C-alpha cells in the first residue's frame, strides 16, 4: 500500500541517493565525442586535462559507467540544502480546475537560488582533491558564479569569476553574494587577460558578453599554476552531477507509488533538464517504463526546435572543443529584449542525441506568456520563480489545462530550478507592461547558422 | 530512546502544531494594557475595532486563553512553506571548534524571505473572514509588505502598502515582488492622505519615514469602507501567530530528546523573538523547565539594554494607542549608517514585561561585528542571512566560543529569521570595508527620551 502522500515530500536522510546516474550508459547510440578543433579528432583525456580537472575529464568522457558513487564530502554538503522538496501543486491544480496531478521539484532553497550548486560543489571537490589552488569560471547574471563561490568557500579554494561587465555594473547583488563568499569577481572584458585586453582595445566601452568571459576564464586558468576552468552547464559531467535532482524525484515518487506521465524542464545548456529526466530516461531506454519528456526553451533562443544538429563551437571565442549538438550557431545572439537565462546557442550533447532519436520532445514559448505563468504560479503556490524555471511552469500549466479539456488525470512533474529574487528587473518590465516578445526570423537564424564551422567531416 | 537526530529536522505533516500558544496565559503579571491617548483609559474592543480586524482585536486583548486553534485555511497555507527546518549547525560548530551544540530554526525558505509570512497569512485570513475588501499597511525595506502581499493574493484581498519613499526608490526589488503579488505600492509620504499631503508640503522632497508611512496607512484604512490596518510586529497578536516558530521547535526538540540551554533571537519589534521563545517561556513560567533567553538588539537602537520601561507612542505620528514598553522614545532616530531592520524605538509589551521581570536577558551588538558573523556563518552553513537574523548569529557564536573556553557542552538554539538577498547594499558596504558602527551617546538617548509623553498616570 502506498503511504499517504504529504503535501511536500522530503526524503529522509537514509533514503537520499548515494550515487549519480550516468544516462549515457543506457544509450545504445552514444552522444558524439568532443572534437579537437585543430585536428578534428576526438579530444583526448590529456588534452582536456589542461583545461579541466582530471576526475571531471574522466566523467566527461565516460559513456559507460552507470553509477558514480557520490563522495562523502559532497554528500555532507548536499545535506545543507538537500533533499529539495517534491511538492504537489494543489493550489495550482485548484486554480486551473484541472484533474491533472501536478508535482514540482523545487531547487531554489539555497543561497545560490538554483540547482547550480549541485554541480558547483562536485567540481570544487574534485579540484580540491587534485590539489589545485583554485578555479576560474565565467558568469552572466551570476547564478552559476554564486553557486561556485559558495562551493569554493566550503573547500577553501580560490574562486575567480569573470562576470559579463554589463551585469557586473547593472546587477550588483549577485556580485556581492559572490564577494561575501570570498570570490574575486572581475568585470569582463578585463585587462587581466590577452583576450580581454584585445577586446577592450577593439571595442572600447563594450559591456562584454558571455563568450568573451568564457575565453578570459579559460585563458586565466591555463596561464596560472594550480588552476583549472570550470563550467556550470552544457557539459556531460554537469548532467551527471545534476542527476541528483532526478534521483531524489524518482526515489520519492517510487516510495509513494506515483508515476509521472510527463516530465517537463526548461532547457538552456541542459543541466537541469538532463539531471531531472536522467533516471526516468534510463527506465525508458531500458524498456522498463514509458514517459513523455518535454524540453522547454525560449522562442527567442530555440536551439532544439529550430536549430541544426551539427558540430559547433561551444563558445563564441572558439577556444573550447567542438561539440555535436542542436545549435543556432555560436554567432547567434538573442535579442536584448530577452530576459533571464536560457540564452545559450547550443544544447548539451546527450540531450541533443536523445532529442534527435525522438526520445524527448521540445517546445518553445514566448517570454510574456512565461512571465504571466510565473505570476499566476507565484500567487497560488507562494514561490516567486526564476524566469528560466517559468518556462517549465508555462508548459506544465498548458498541459494541465489540456487535461481539464480532455478530462485526463495525467500526472505531471516539472523542474522548478530556482527563485526569481535576482530577476526583478525583468519582473518590473512585465509588471509595467513593457515586456516584449522576440521570435527570430528565418533571416535572423540564417545569420547564426552562417557561423557554424565548415568541417568537411 | 531518542531517535537518531537528522542534520535538518523537518516535522512530519501530522506532527505540525495545530494551535498558537499565548504566553500571556502563563504570566502572573500580565503586560500593561494599551491606553487611549486621549482618555488614558485602556483601549476598548470597540475603539480598536475601528482600526483593526475584530478577531485580531480579540487576540490582542486576550491575556488568558492559552491555546488558539489555527484555522484550517491557515494550516493549509502554512503547508506551502512550513515546517521550517530546525538545523544542527555542524559546520559552524566545527569551524568554531566548540563543544557546544548549535541549532537554528530557519524561517527564510519562502518568497517573503522571513518569518513575517506566519502572521501576514493570519491577519489576511481574519480580514477575509470579516468580509473586508482589503487591508492597508506600511513597510520600510519591504519584508513585511512582501509577506502581506503574498497573503492577500492567496485570499484575494486588496492590499495597499505605503512604502517609505526612499526605500521605494532605492530598493525597487521588494516593491516589484509586492506588485507581482498584486499589491498596490505607494511611496510615502504620498498625496493620497491628509497626513501625507501635509508632510509633503512641510518637507518638500522628503524621503519619508516609517512613522509617516504608518500614519498614512492608518488614515487610509479608516477613511475607506471595508478596509482595516494591519501591522507586522510589535503587537501581541503578532507574537501569538509567530508562536508557530517556537511550537515547531519544541515539538521537534522534544521528539529527539534535545533540550536547549539557551535560546537566542534578534529583537526589533519582538515578533520573531517572542514567537520563538513563547512555548519555552511557558514552561519556565509554569516552573517546569528552565531556559536562558537572550534578546539581541543593535547597539544603535538599544531599546531593551538602554531604554526606559514606560508608556510611549507606538508610532512617530502618534495616531496609535499608547503602549507600555521598553522604549527609546518615539522621537528616537537611529543613525542612517544603521543597516537593515531592528530600527523600532520600542519593544512588544509582553517581551518588555518578561524582561522587566528578569525572565529574559538582552544584549546589544555592533553592526560590523554582526556582518562579520554573518559572513562567517554564510561561508560554512551556506545560507546568506538577513542582517537582522545575524544579530542572533553573532551572540550564538559568542556563546559557542565561551563554551570552547570553558569546555561546557551547552545546547544553543537561535532563530534565523530570514535571508539577506534583498540586503546586499549593506553587504556591499561591509565587503568594501566602509561600514561603520554607531553607538548613541547619552545625549542622543536623552533627545529620544524627551519625546516620551508626560502622562501623570
Q: Does position B155 have pLDDT exceeding 50, yes or no?
A: yes
Distance CA B123, CA B291 (A): 31
Which residue from A153, A179, A431 is facing B179, i.e. has the nearest CB? A431
Chain A: closest CA distance from residue B192 (Å): 21
Per-residue pLDDT tens digits for B23-70: 999 999 999 999 998 899 999 999 999 999 999 999 999 999 999 999
Nearest to A115 by CA among A321, A269, A282, A290: A269
- β-pairing, B292-298 vs B262-266, is parallel
Per-residue pLDDT tens digits for B220-256: 999 999 999 999 989 999 999 999 999 999 999 999 9
Distance CA A62, CA A350 (A): 12
Chain A interface, best mutation among B75, B173, B430, by max A CB count within 10 A: B173
10-residue mean pLDDT series, chain A (457 residues): 78 96 98 93 95 97 98 95 95 97 96 96 98 95 93 97 89 91 96 92 86 90 96 95 98 97 96 97 98 96 97 82 94 75 89 98 97 96 95 98 98 97 91 94 95 85
Neighbouring C-beta atoms of residue A185, cutoff 10 Å: 22
Distance CA B21, CA B250 (A): 12
Q: In sequence order, what DSSP letters do the residues of B257-270 get, joined into one string?
A: T---SEEEEE-SSS
Its ipTM equals: 0.91
Distance CA A412, CA A102 (A): 5
At residue B329's C-alpha, the angle toward residues B327 and B333, to 5°, is 110
Per-residue pLDDT tens digits for B381-408: 999 999 999 999 999 999 999 999 999 9
Query: What is the Rg, in whole angstroms, of the alpha carbon atoms belonging to chain B?
Result: 21
- Write down all domains in chain A, each with its CATH number in brackets: 19-69+116-229 (3.40.50.1100), 81-113+242-449 (3.40.50.1100)
Neighbouring C-beta atoms of residue B434, cutoff 10 Å: 9
Task: Specify the range with the lowest mean pLDDT, choosing from A77-86, B201-210, B425-434.
Answer: B201-210
The three three-digit cell numbers of residue B381, written as one number = 552553513
pLDDT average, residue stretch B275-298: 98
Distance CA B256, CA B58 (A): 36
Phi and psi at residue B387, to the nearest 5°: -55, -40
Chain B 381-440, residues with CB within 8 Å of chain A CB atoms: 381-384, 419, 421-422, 424, 427-428, 430-431
The three three-digit cell numbers of residue B300, written as one number = 544603535
Chain B: closest CA distance from residue A135 (Å): 17
Distance CA A147, CA A393 (A): 23
Q: Is A172–B424 a contact, with Cβ atoms under 8 angstroms apart?
A: yes
The three three-digit cell numbers of residue B104, written as one number = 537554528
Give the pLDDT of residue A208: 84
Give the pLDDT of residue B1: 42
Q: If DSSP states are collapsed to H, E and C, what string results for A307-335? A: CEEEEEECCCCCCCCEEEEEECCCCCCCC
Chain B 323-352, residues with CB within 8 Å of chain A CB atoms: none
The owner of cell 514606560 is: B310
pLDDT average, residue stretch B128-157: 95
pTM recorded for the entire structure: 0.94
The owner of cell 583526448 is: A44
Which residue from B13, B384, B430 is facing A177, i.e. has the nearest CB? B384
Chain A positions in Cβ-Cβ contact with residue B80 (cut-off 8 Å): 7, 91, 381-382
Distance CA B241, CA B118 (A): 6
Phi and psi at residue B69, to the nearest 5°: -60, 135
Give the pLDDT of residue B3: 64
Distance CA A453, CA A271 (A): 25
Cross-strand pairs, B20: B68
Chain A 44-103, residues with CB within 8 Å of chain B CB atoms: 79-81, 91
Per DSSP, the three-state class of A269 is coil
Amino acid at each position: 500500500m502506498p503511504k499517504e502522500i504529504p503535501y511536500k515530500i522530503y526524503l529522509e536522510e537514509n533514503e537520499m541517493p548515494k550515487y549519480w546516474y550516468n544516462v549515457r550508459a543506457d544509450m545504445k547510440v552514444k552522444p558524439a565525442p568532443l572534437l579537437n578543433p585543430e585536428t578534428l579528432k576526438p579530444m583526448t583525456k590529456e588534452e582536456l586535462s589542461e583545461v579541466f580537472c582530471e576526475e571531471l575529464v574522466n566523467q566527461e568522457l565516460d559513456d559507460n559507467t552507470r553509477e558514480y558513487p557520490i563522495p562523502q564530502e559532497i554528500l555532507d554538503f548536499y545535506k545543507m540544502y538537500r533533499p529539495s522538496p517534491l511538492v504537489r501543486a494543489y493550489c495550482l491544480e485548484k486554480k486551473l480546475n484541472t484533474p491533472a496531478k501536478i508535482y514540482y521539484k523545487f531547487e531554489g532553497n539555497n543561497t545560490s537560488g538554483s540547482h547550480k550548486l549541485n554541480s558547483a560543489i562536485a567540481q570544487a571537490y574534485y579540484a580540491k582533491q587534485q590539489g589545485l589552488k583554485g578555479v576560474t569560471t565565467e558568469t552572466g547574471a551570476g547564478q552559476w558564479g554564486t553557486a561556485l563561490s559558495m562551493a569554493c568557500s566550503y573547500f577553501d579554494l580560490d574562486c575567480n569569476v569573470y562576470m559579463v561587465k554589463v551585469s557586473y555594473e547593472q546587477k550588483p547583488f549577485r556580485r556581492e553574494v559572490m564577494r561575501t563568499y570570498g570570490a574575486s569577481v572581475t568585470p569582463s572584458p578585463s585587462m587581466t587577460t590577452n583576450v580581454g585586453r584585445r577586446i577592450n582595445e577593439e571595442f572600447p566601452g563594450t559591456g562584454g558578453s558571455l563568450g568573451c568571459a568564457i575565453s578570459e576564464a579559460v585563458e586565466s586558468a591555463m596561464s596560472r599554476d594550480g588552476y583549472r576552468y570550470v563550467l556550470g552547464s552544457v557539459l556531460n559531467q554537469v548532467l551527471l552531477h545534476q542527476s541528483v535532482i532526478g534521483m531524489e524525484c524518482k526515489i520519492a515518487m517510487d516510495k509513494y507509488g506515483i508515476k509521472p506521465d510527463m516530465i517537463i524542464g526548461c532547457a538552456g545548456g541542459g543541466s537541469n533538464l538532463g539531471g531531472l529526466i536522467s533516471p526516468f530516461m534510463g527506465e525508458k531506454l531500458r524498456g522498463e517504463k514509458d514517459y513523455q519528456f518535454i524540453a522547454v526553451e525560449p522562442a527567442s533562443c530555440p536551439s532544439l526546435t529550430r536549430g541544426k544538429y551539427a558540430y559547433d563551437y561551444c563558445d563564441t571565442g572558439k577556444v573550447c572543443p567542438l561539440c555535436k549538438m542542436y545549435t543556432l550557431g555560436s554567432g547567434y545572439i538573442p535579442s536584448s529584449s530577452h530576459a533571464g537565462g536560457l540564452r545559450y546557442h547550443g544544447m548539451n550533447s546527450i540531450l541533443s542525441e536523445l532529442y534527435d532519436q525522438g526520445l524527448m520532445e521540445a517546445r518553445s514559448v514566448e517570454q510574456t506568456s512565461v512571465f504571466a505563468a510565473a505570476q499566476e504560479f507565484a500567487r497560488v503556490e507562494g514561490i516567486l520563480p526564476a524566469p528560466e524555471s517559468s518556462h517549465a511552469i508555462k508548459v506544465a500549466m498548458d498541459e494541465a489545462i489540456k487535461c481539464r479539456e480532455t478530462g485526463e488525470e495525467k500526472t505531471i512533474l516539472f523542474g522548478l530550478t530556482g527563485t526569481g529574487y535576482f530577476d526583478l528587473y525583468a519582473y518590473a518590465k512585465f509588471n509595467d507592461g513593457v515586456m516584449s516578445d522576440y521570435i527570430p526570423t528565418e533571416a535572423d537564424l540564417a545569420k547564426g547558422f552562417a557561423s557554424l564551422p565548415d568541417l568537411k567531416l
